[in-house]
Structure formats: structure tokens, C-alpha cells
């Protein structure tokens, strides 16, 4: 029997789309969050006894609400889009009530670990001596452009309502909008129009010099519930053509973001039926990457959406599909253990690089310590970074849209131990949510082991742009100058963290730069979350995460120390 608060209804979705009938929640209850959460979990246990479509969709909406933090209406739309995936996954489950609860909350986690969330990748021991690094053929500094989270919105309407009640705004035209959408974009819950991205690329092409381009995922807009394969292919073709227009002879390397999946976050490992494997996406990904990628990687790109290729003599790039750590990639609730052998493949590529004397840069989308990344993946990734810290010279990620970094430590449970790595979460090109668009250029020194020696972040103030005055792109800051650093080593960044915690001026500047707005649009909760992220390469309550700063999805992913 289904709770009376769940009603069978037809829902009209944004942009005039009429969805199929599904169970949707009236979330008007004012009960305390903890009691509502317990109630939702108890209802989810229905699937132990009833694997009908209604019960499965009900459970799917509960997971969406808890992990993705969307409205019940949007979760209903997404769960409808996920129908086949949900039915396949949950019909494969034969779980006890405690095991189902363990999928949602750590307090009732099942010690039998049915989904193998405690999996461990095999990592070879450190060699007694490392092979000397390959001597680079070129010693000039390398300039690397990273573009992340473009989220281009082809349905963006200038003058439409930018302050709406929907998950994404700047679509609906009204007579008197509370906040009219700007011609070039809006610092609100909106993605950017195509013309703004093209203006950015034109500026970079005309005024700045880059040796190669990194694109770290999430190219489509945030209307997750409307995703189709056809539209995604159109977006990928359009954007890859646009990049090629402005950088025709510049090597360009791509990583997949969670929004490339259809349905969103859908990256089925090969234990699932063939119809769920995103072969169409991997093929499109290969097509746009192939001109600059070693052909020997075609098979792994088609199999797992990841690849490894030589950038220049002595330097290798490894692009990792982090869709295999997504908390709402529901296939992983059947088995989280090393999806499609991706982490094992990652280790093997790093080992080959180490034995060849190569240095490595990593390109990915979801940072492992982010709340949307499962702890099993995050913990294994962290151990890989620790083991190969002499080989890995940079980690380039995106996903969060804010500008921040994460330091990795010799002991993943002790931030007082020696720093061994740093991950850069590059600011987004999209304005979603409440941000000015940005891009970044790194300086890499071949004579210093291809280490990142500086980076410059560029942005524009959209409040000063209109139809007759296009965006003015300026340097927002340079890392060395902004933080008074002599290098960008993990130790130096660890010192910056200390300053952010202890010095008000550094603290305030950091959050102003994180959002590219003045004053910052990052409120107190946002600031606590970002502080936590500076040291959270995985989910661990012993790191700098004040209890008030830890959102529910971060709590869900945390594991006790052993």
C-alpha cells in the first residue's frame, strides 16, 4: 500500500513538455527533516516486497530527492526518463530492508557490503628506484587552456525571467520579469547562451596564446529531465565544431561530464545489458578526440569513455570517465567495484608512465571528494594519487562550477601529514548558479618535470555587458601573485588553506574569486562546504568539515576510519 501523500497524476513540465503519468509527492509537509527522511526510507522498503513499476519509481524518486536534492516534481520527471534503468537495476536487487537502508544512510549500513562499496584496486608497490624522467625535446613553457562546465543553453532567451521557481531559468518570457535575462547571460540560475561561449573563444584566439586545450566535461544545459540522445549529439557536434573554428590547429582533449549521460549520469558498466551502454556517447567522444589522440586508445575510449595519450615527449595525459563514481549512476548500486575496470586501467597507465620515465597530467570531471562521487571510487583514487605522486604532476577537474582546489595528503585521514598532491577544480563557463563565466590558462614548465608553475584565471562582469556592449574578458587573478607564492607545490597550497582559515582578507578574496562576483554570491553554507572541499580528497569526517558544513549527501558518502 502506498502512502496517501503519493498521488497518481499528470504533470506539465517546463518548456511545454507533457510527461507520462507517475507517482509524485506532495512535499508540503512541515514535519522535521529527520522524520521526513525516516519516513521516505521506510516507504522505500516497499520494494523489498513489491517490485511493481509504481513501487520502483517511488523508490527512485526518494533516491533522487536525497542525493540530487531536486524538487519532487523534477525527480518525478527524471525517474520517468530513467524508467528502464530503474526497472532493470531494482529487479536485480535481492536486498534486505537493512541493505536498502544502507544504500541511503551510513547509520544503517550493511556490514555485508552487497554493492562492494568497500572495493580496493590493486596498486603495485613503489619501486626502490625510479627511472630518470624523459628529457623533453622542448624547454619553452607550455600554455594550457582549460574550459569546464560550458552548459551551453540553446534555448536561452534574452529578456526572459531569470528569477524563477524552476531548476533552470532564462527560458520563460513574461511581461514584467522580476529579473530580465541579459543578452550575454545572467548571474542567476541560468546557463549561458551560445553567443557568449563564441565571444569567449574569439577573445582567447585573438589575444592569448595556448598550446593545447582541455575540456573537462558538462557541455549541455541543466534541463536534465528533457535530455535526448539526438540533442546531446547535436550539442557535441556544434561545440566541437565551434572549438575547431577558433583553434583549428590546436590539440584539443576532452573528458566526459555527468551531464553527457542520457539519462543524466547514466554510464552503465558492461555487466548491464547492451542497450544501456552509452556506446553512442563513447563513439561521439572518440570522434571529437581522435584527431589528437593515439589510435591505440580507440578501444578503451569506446569501452569505458577514458583514454591515455602522449601530449609531448615526456608528458602523458590520462582522461578518466568519472561517471563511474556518480552517486546517481544507479547501475553502481548493483556493484560499485571498479566499474569496467576503469580504476585498474588507470593504475596500469600510470605504472607504464612511471616505468617509461613519463610525467602525467590527469583530466576528469567530478572531483573525488565531491558529494556526487561515491566513497569507494574516491578512496581508491586517493590511494592512486598517493602511490604515483612522483609521476602525477597535475589534476585538472571541473563539475562544481566554483573555483577551488583540493590538497591530498600522505595519510588520507590526517591533514597534518605531508601534502602529496593538488587537484584544480576549474571555474565554469556557465553562470549557473549565480556566477560570472570564466576560463583558465595554466603555465607548465617542461624543465621542472612538467609541473604547473602558475595559472591565470579570466572572467567577465556580465552586469556591464548588453546587446551593444559585448563582454570584456580580463584577468581575474594570477595564482602566484594572488597568494604570494614561490611555486604551486602541494605544500604551498596547503599553506594557502591555512591562510584562508585564519586570515580574513585571504578568506574573503578566496570566496570572491570562487564565484567571480563582488560581493561573493557564496553564502555561509556555501563557504563552509568549500572550506571542507579544500582538504577533502575523499569523504572523511576527520578532515576540516564542521558538522554544520556537511550536507546530507556528504554525510551519506562518509565512512568511519578503520
Indicate the length of the chain as a whole number. Answer: 562
Q: Would you state the cell numbers that stand for residue 402, as one nine-digit string?
A: 566554483
Q: Is 507 assigned to a binding site?
A: no
Q: Is 401 assigned to a binding site?
A: yes
Rounded-to-integer distance, Cα 17 and Cα 15, Å: 6
Q: Is 149 assigned to a binding site?
A: yes
pLDDT at 141: 96
Q: Do 492 and 485 form a contact (C-beta atoms < 8 A)? A: yes
Q: Would you state the cell numbers that stand for residue 322, as one nine-digit string?
A: 568519472
Q: Do 460 and 472 form a contact (C-beta atoms < 8 A)? A: yes
The per-residue pLDDT for range 262-309, each reduced to its tens digit, is: 988 989 999 999 999 999 999 999 999 888 988 888 999 999 999 999
Q: Which stretch of DSSP H or E encloses residue 408?
A: strand 404-411
pLDDT at 81: 74
Mean pLDDT confidence for 371-376: 91
Backbone angles phi, psi at 166, to 5 degrees: -95, 165
Angle at 414 between CA 410 and CA 419, to 5 degrees: 35
The per-residue pLDDT for range 105-135, each reduced to its tens digit, is: 444 444 456 566 688 999 999 999 989 999 9
Q: Is the pLDDT of residue 98 over 90?
A: no
Q: Which stretch of DSSP H or E encloses residue 311?
A: strand 307-312
Q: Is 69 assigned to a binding site?
A: no
pLDDT at 394: 98
pLDDT at 113: 61
pLDDT at 175: 85
Rounded-to-integer distance, Cα 351 and Cα 203, Å: 39
Question: Residue 10: which pLDDT band, with cuts at 50, 70 and 90?
Answer: very low
pLDDT at 315: 97
Count of H helices and E strands in the chain? Answer: 17, 16
- Residue by residue, what is the 3-state secondary structure of 204-265? HHHHCCCCEEEECCCCECCCHHHCCHHHHHHHHHHHHHHHHHHCCCCCEEECCCHHHCCCCC
pLDDT at 233: 96
The per-residue pLDDT for range 225-241, each reduced to its tens digit, is: 889 999 999 999 999 99
pLDDT at 45: 46
HSE-up (13 A, CA, CB side) for residue 31 = 10
Backbone angles phi, psi at 361, to 5 degrees: -110, 140
Between residues 416 and 35, the one the model is more confident about? 416
Q: Is the pLDDT of residue 100 over 70?
A: no
Q: Beta strands 315-319 and 359-363: pairing type?
A: parallel
Counting residues of the chain whose pLDDT is more than 70, the rounded percentage is: 78
Beta pairing partners, 441: 145, 456
Question: Residue 354: which pLDDT band, with cuts at 50, 70 and 90?
Answer: very high
Q: Would you state the cell numbers that stand for residue 136, as one nine-digit string?
A: 623533453
Q: What is the pTM of this model?
A: 0.85
What are the distances in angstroms from CA 550 to CA 185, 374, 389, 525, 545? 31, 15, 28, 9, 6
pLDDT at 77: 67
The per-residue pLDDT for range 173-221, each reduced to its tens digit, is: 888 999 999 999 999 999 999 999 999 999 999 999 999 999 999 999 9
Rounded-to-integer distance, Cα 447 and Cα 137, Å: 10
The per-residue pLDDT for range 480-510, each reduced to its tens digit, is: 999 999 999 999 999 999 999 999 999 999 9
Q: Is the pLDDT of residue 80 over 50?
A: yes
Mean pLDDT, the chain, whole residue set = 84
HSE-up (13 A, CA, CB side) for residue 319 = 30
Q: Is 365 assigned to a binding site?
A: yes
Mean pLDDT confidence for 150-161: 96
- Residue by residue, what is the 3-state secondary structure of 324-336? HHECCCHHHHCCC
Q: Which stretch of DSSP H or E encloses residue 393?
A: strand 392-397
Highest mean pLDDT range out of 44-58, 131-145, 156-170, 479-493? 479-493
Q: Do 401 and 430 form a contact (C-beta atoms < 8 A)? A: yes
Amino acid at each position: 500500500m502506498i502512502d496517501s501523500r503519493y498521488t497518481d497524476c499528470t504533470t506539465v513540465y517546463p518548456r511545454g513538455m507533457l510527461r507520462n503519468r507517475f507517482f509524485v509527492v506532495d512535499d508540503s509537509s512541515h514535519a522535521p527533516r529527520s522524520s521526513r527522511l525516516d519516513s521516505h526510507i521506510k516507504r522505500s522498503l516497499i520494494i523489498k516486497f513489491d517490485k511493481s513499476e509504481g513501487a520502483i519509481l517511488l523508490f527512485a524518486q526518494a533516491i533522487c530527492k536525497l542525493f540530487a536534492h531536486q524538487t519532487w516534481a523534477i525527480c518525478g520527471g527524471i525517474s520517468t526518463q530513467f524508467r528502464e534503468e530503474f526497472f532493470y537495476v531494482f529487479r536485480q536487487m535481492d536486498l534486505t530492508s537493512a541493505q536498502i537502508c544502507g544504500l541511503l544512510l551510513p547509520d544503517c549500513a550493511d556490514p555485508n557490503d552487497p554493492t562492494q562499496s568497500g572495493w580496493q584496486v590493486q596498486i603495485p608497490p613503489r619501486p626502490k628506484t625510479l627511472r630518470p624522467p624523459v628529457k623533453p625535446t622542448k624547454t619553452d613553457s607550455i600554455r594550457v587552456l582549460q574550459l569546464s562546465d560550458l552548459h551551453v543553453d540553446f534555448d536561452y532567451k534574452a529578456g526572459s525571467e531569470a528569477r524563477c521557481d524552476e531548476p533552470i531559468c532564462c527560458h520563460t518570457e513574461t511581461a514584467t520579469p522580476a529579473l530580465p535575462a541579459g543578452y550575454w547571460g545572467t548571474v542567476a540560475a541560468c546557463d549561458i547562451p551560445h553567443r557568449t561561449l563564441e565571444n569567449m573563444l574569439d577573445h582567447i584566439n585573438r589575444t592569448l596564446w595556448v598550446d593545447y586545450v582541455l575540456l573537462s566535461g558538462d557541455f549541455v544545459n541543466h534541463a536534465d529531465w528533457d535530455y535526448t540522445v539526438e540533442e546531446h549529439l547535436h550539442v557535441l557536434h556544434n561545440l566541437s565544431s565551434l572549438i575547431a573554428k577558433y583553434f583549428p590547429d590546436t590539440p584539443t582533449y576532452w573528458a566526459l561530464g555527468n551531464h553527457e549521460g542520457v539519462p543524466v549520469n547514466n554510464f552503465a558498466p558492461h555487466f548491464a545489458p547492451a542497450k544501456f551502454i552509452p556506446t553512442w556517447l563513447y563513439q561521439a567522444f572518440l570522434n571529437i578526440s581522435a584527431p589528437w589522440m593515439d589510435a591505440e586508445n580507440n578501444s578503451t575510449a569506446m569501452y569505458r569513455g577514458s583514454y591515455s595519450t602522449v601530449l609531448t615527449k615526456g608528458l602523458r595525459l590520462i582522461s578518466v570517465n568519472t561517471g563511474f563514481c556518480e552517486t546517481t549512476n544507479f547501475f553502481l548500486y548493483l556493484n560499485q567495484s571498479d566499474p569496467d575496470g576503469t580504476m585498474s586501467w588507470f593504475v596500469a597507465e600510470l605504472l607504464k608512465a612511471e616505468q617509461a620515465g613519463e610525467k602525467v597530467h590527469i583530466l576528469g570531471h567530478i572531483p573525488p571528494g565531491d558529494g556526487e562521487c561515491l566513497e569507494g571510487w574516491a578512496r581508491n583514487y586517493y590511494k592512486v594519487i598517493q602511490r604515483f605522486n612522483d609521476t602525477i604532476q597535475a589534476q585538472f577537474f571541473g563539475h562544481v562550477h566554483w573555483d577551488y582546489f583540493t590538497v591530498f595528503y600522505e595519510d588520507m585521514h590526517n591533514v597534518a601529514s605531508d601534502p602529496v598532491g593538488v587537484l584544480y577544480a576549474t571555474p565554469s563557463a556557465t553562470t549557473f548558479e549565480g556566477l560570472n563565466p570564466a576560463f583558465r590558462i595554466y603555465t607548465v614548465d617542461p624543465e621542472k618535470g612538467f609541473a604547473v608553475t602558475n595559472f591565470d584565471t579570466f572572467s567577465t562582469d556580465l552586469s556591464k555587458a548588453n546587446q551593444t556592449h559585448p563582454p570584456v574578458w580580463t584577468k581575474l587573478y594570477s595564482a602566484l601573485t594572488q597568494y604570494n607564492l614561490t611555486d604551486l607545490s602541494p605544500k604551498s597550497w596547503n599553506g594557502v588553506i591555512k591562510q584562508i582559515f585564519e586570515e580574513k582578507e585571504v578568506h574573503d578574496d578566496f570566496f570572491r574569486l570562487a564565484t567571480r562576483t563582488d560581493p561573493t554570491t557564496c553564502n555561509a553554507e556555501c563557504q563552509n562546504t568549500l572550506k571542507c572541499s579544500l582538504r577533502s580528497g575523499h569523504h572523511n569526517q576527520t578532515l576540516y568539515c564542521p558538522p554544520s558544513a556537511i550536507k546530507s549527501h556528504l554525510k551519506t558518502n562518509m565512512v568511519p576510519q578503520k
